Amino acid sequence: MIDLTKISIVAPPESVVKKLSRANIAFFGLKKEGFSTTFCVGGKSIKKVFAIFAHPCYNICVLKYGALRSFALRCAARAGLIAGVALFVAAVSLSRLFVFRVKVVGSGSYLAPQVVTILAENGVREGSFCPSYDSPVVLSAIMRLPGVSFCSVQREGVAVVVDVECSSSPGVRPVYSPLLSPVAGRVEGVCVLSGTASVAVGEDVSAGDELISPQFELPSGESADCLCAGYVRIRAEASLSSHAQSRSEQSLSSALAAVRLWYDDARVLSHTVRQVSQGFIYTVTFTYIHTASINMQ
Amino acid sequence: MEFLQHILSAAGADTLRAFTVVPGFGGYFKGVGGITCFSCSRIVLAVGGSAVEVVGEGLSVGRFFAGDLFIQGRISEIRID
């Protein structure tokens, strides 16, 4: 019996025993301490004991409540503290279901805008309710970014930490500038892995025009700087001159062969023959595909 | 217990008014009607029509309910009047 309450009463033990036994109240550890008698009763009998010794001549008091009642009284006295602790625990537990910060670390931290966008597409964005996410999908999407060799996504409390590591060969450094067209011509193909395409297929471009810009559009509509990666195929026009001793079919074939020697996919548009003092100059005008790329090593 | 019952029956004793004393620990008393005198060295019990006087040191009532009484302490002497 653990819920025993210790009571002290100023009365002779004989009288206490007589009254308690008459009321069929079990008591324990009855002792005489000076003028008072102390004993223990079960928690349910406290009211009955006080009723028996209700007369003012008995000075009765509780010395110590039982374990259960003491615990209840202590809890009641500290209700505010307990409520605060419970609230704190609940807040901490609930906060783990939210994401308040997305942090990209590692050598591939320059890919942060793309990583943040990939996470956002999978429901992980700052300030959002996110009890879980599809980790394999996120990891595979990040691993598809250019140069990424390792990736891990971990939750650290209210933060999501993405470790992105990029493998770069010695001497190959990422270029942070936009991709500019080295030649004039017509765009035949665009492939952008990172950044934003500035031209479309079929569009004419001049030398120096921007082909891929190092900007990235966030889901919020704002643009952020990023690393360009991709290539653009441009059909450009060029001419090649070669010298021949005589004007003949063989000389023309040699001039065309010289063109194909440089460009396999050359399409000959026209050719001209000009006579000079020491023979003939064959000039072949043709188009070829020039591929401009950035960060594709 | 059968041996105890046999002895009590042979003696004509009433088991409801029996008691057991464990030296140095205490004693268990049955059929106790009340306590007529109480001190640390002497407790007098009303058992039936007789009085059982328990003498010892550091005596206290360990438990008392429905006529069953356990006295804690070093009991050195018991007198029955």
Phi, psi of A80 (to 5 degrees): -65, -45
Per-residue model confidence as pLDDT tens digits over A99-108: 888 888 888 8
Q: What is the CATH classification number for the domain harbouring B18?
A: 2.60.40.2000
Mean pLDDT over all residues of chain A? Answer: 85
Per-residue model confidence as pLDDT tens digits over A236-282: 998 888 888 888 888 888 888 888 887 878 888 888 888 888 888 88
pLDDT at A296 over 70: yes
Q: How sure is the predictor about A189, in pLDDT bands with cuts at 50, 70 and 90?
A: very high
CATH of domain A98-166: 3.10.20
A75 versus A223: the higher-pLDDT residue is: A75
Nearest to A17 among B34, B39, B40 (CB): B34
d(CA B30, CA B52): 11
Tokens of residue A90, six digits:
């609940």
Is the ipTM above a cut-off of 0.90? no
A207 versus A158: the higher-pLDDT residue is: A207
Contacts of B35 in chain A (CB under 8 A): 13-14, 17-18
A88 vs chain B: nearest CA distance in angstroms?
46
Q: State the residue range of the domain holding B74.
A: 14-80
| Bridge partners, residue A275, by sequence | A280
Whether A25 contacts chain B with CB within 8 A: yes
Strands A101-105 and A159-166: parallel
The arithmetic mean of pLDDT across residues A33-41, rounded, is: 90
Nearest CA in chain A to B59: A31
What share of chain A in percent tops pLDDT 70?
A: 96
Whether B64 contacts chain A with CB within 8 A: yes
Instruction: Determine whether domain A4-77 maps to CATH 3.30.70.120.
Output: yes
pLDDT at B70 over 90: yes
Nearest to B63 among A14, A28, A31 (CB): A28
- Answer whether A27 sits within 8 Å of B66, measured CB to CB: no
Query: Residue B72 falls within a domain, yes or no?
Result: yes
Residues 6+ apart with CB under 8 A from A30: A13, A16, A17, A37, A38, A39, B60, B61, B64
- Answer whether A18 sits within 8 Å of B60, measured CB to CB: no
- Predicted confidence at residue A256, as pLDDT, reads 87
pLDDT at B8 over 80: no
Residues 6+ apart with CB under 8 A from A237: A184, A185, A269, A285, A286, A287
Query: Residue B1 falls within a domain, yes or no?
Result: no
Domain ranges of chain A: 4-77, 98-166, 177-297
pLDDT at A86 over 90: yes
Q: How sure is the predictor about A297, in pLDDT bands with cuts at 50, 70 and 90?
A: low
pTM score, whole prediction: 0.43
A50 vs chain B: nearest CA distance in angstroms?
18
pLDDT at A112 over 90: no
The arithmetic mean of pLDDT across residues A12-22, rounded, is: 89
d(CA B57, CA B72): 9
Q: How sure is the predictor about A89, in pLDDT bands with cuts at 50, 70 and 90?
A: very high
Q: How sure is the predictor about A83, in pLDDT bands with cuts at 50, 70 and 90?
A: very high
- Predicted confidence at residue B56, as pLDDT, reads 93
Concatenated DSSP letters of chain A: ---EEEEEESS-HHHHHHHHHHTT--EEEEEEETTEEEEEEEGGGHHHHHHHT-STTS-EEEEE--HHHHHHHHHHHTHHHHHHHHHHHHHHHHHTTEE-EEEEESTTGGGHHHHHHHHHHTT--TTEE-S---HHHHHHHHHTSTTEEEEEEEEETTEEEEEEEE---TT-----SPEE-SS-EEEEEEEEEESEE---TT-EE-TT-EEEESEEE-TTS-EEE---EEEEEEEEEEEEEEEESS-SHHHHHHHHHHHHHH-TT-EEEEEEEEEETTEEEEEEEEEEEEEEEES--
pLDDT at A85 over 90: yes
B39 vs chain A: nearest CA distance in angstroms?
7
**How many Cβ atoms are within 10 Å of A226's Cβ, its own excluded?**
21
- Predicted confidence at residue A247, as pLDDT, reads 84
- Predicted confidence at residue A2, as pLDDT, reads 65
Tokens of residue B37, six digits:
């005198």
pLDDT at A71 over 60: yes
The arithmetic mean of pLDDT across residues A94-114, rounded, is: 84
Note whether A14 and B34 are within 8 A (CB).
yes
Whether A267 contacts chain B with CB within 8 A: no
Query: Residue B28 falls within a domain, yes or no?
Result: yes
pLDDT at A117 over 90: no
Query: Residue B8 falls within a domain, yes or no?
Result: no
- Predicted confidence at residue A234, as pLDDT, reads 93
Q: Which of B41, B45, B61 to probe the A interface (max A CBs under 10 A)?
A: B61
A39 vs chain B: nearest CA distance in angstroms?
9
Per-residue model confidence as pLDDT tens digits over A139-185: 888 888 877 888 888 888 788 888 988 876 545 556 678 899 988 99
B34 vs chain A: nearest CA distance in angstroms?
6
- Answer whether A17 sits within 8 Å of B63, measured CB to CB: no
- H or E segment and range at residue B11: helix B2-11
